[in-house]
Amino acid sequence: MKLKFIPSLLIFISSYFPLALIFLIKDLDASSYYPQHPLIAAAIAILTLIACLSVLVAARSITGGVPVKMIKMSNKSGDMFTYTIPYMVSFYNFTLGDWKTLLSLLVFMILMFALTYRTQNLLVNPVLALAGYGLYDCQFKDGASDNQGFILSKVEFRVGDTCVIERLSAFLYFVTKIIPVESNHDKQAS
């Protein structure tokens, strides 16, 4: 099971929204503050904005799932910032008007997408982190079976909680609801 191509591409493009902003800022004319290459700048801005909005709307619309009990977890939200290599490109003498540089960047980004799509590391996304989503490596119990996978959640949870999760791909899940463990105080009151 894999995420479909178009949603995967949108997630990938949205993850480079901060890089697109850096490129757009670097393309501004120092005297007029307008882009030196307005068509390319507009295309980049529109594409990344559409991708970001699509991903955030899609994440909010995920509902349903199956309840599982969290057995073990580690926070991997820091991994959502591993998109550093392409960001280094932005600090070199990069211009949106040089077709060779743009073509080289396009080839590099296609390779990055192919690797990301193949390894299903699409949810390692700084835009989702900025929107409040955390990434967790979890072991959980689904009925009688133990499973492990990466879980994306906007709501904090802990070991022992029951989470309703929706499967996105072989090892990627999305938390739609948390059923917290009753505290000792709640148990004594009953």
Q: Where are the domains of the chain?
A: 5-189
pLDDT at position 87? 58
- Model confidence over 117-160: pLDDT tens digits? 887 766 667 788 888 988 899 999 998 899 999 899 999 899 99
CA-nearest of 14, 8, 149, 183 to 70 is 149
- CA-CA distance, 29 to 32, in Å (whole number)? 6
Indicate whether 95 pLDDT > 90: no
- Residue the block writes with tokens 């008007």: 97
Q: How confident is the model at residue 168 (pLDDT cuts 50, 70, 90)?
A: confident
- pTM for this model (two decimals): 0.77
85 pLDDT higher than 60: no
Residue of 138, 172, 132 lying closest to 155 (CA atoms): 132
User: Is the model's pLDDT at 51 over the cut of 70?
Assistant: yes
The secondary element (H helix, E strand) that includes residue 10 is: helix 5-15
- Residue 44: the pLDDT is 93
20 burial type by CB count under 10 A (0-12 exposed, 13-18 middle, 19+ buried): buried
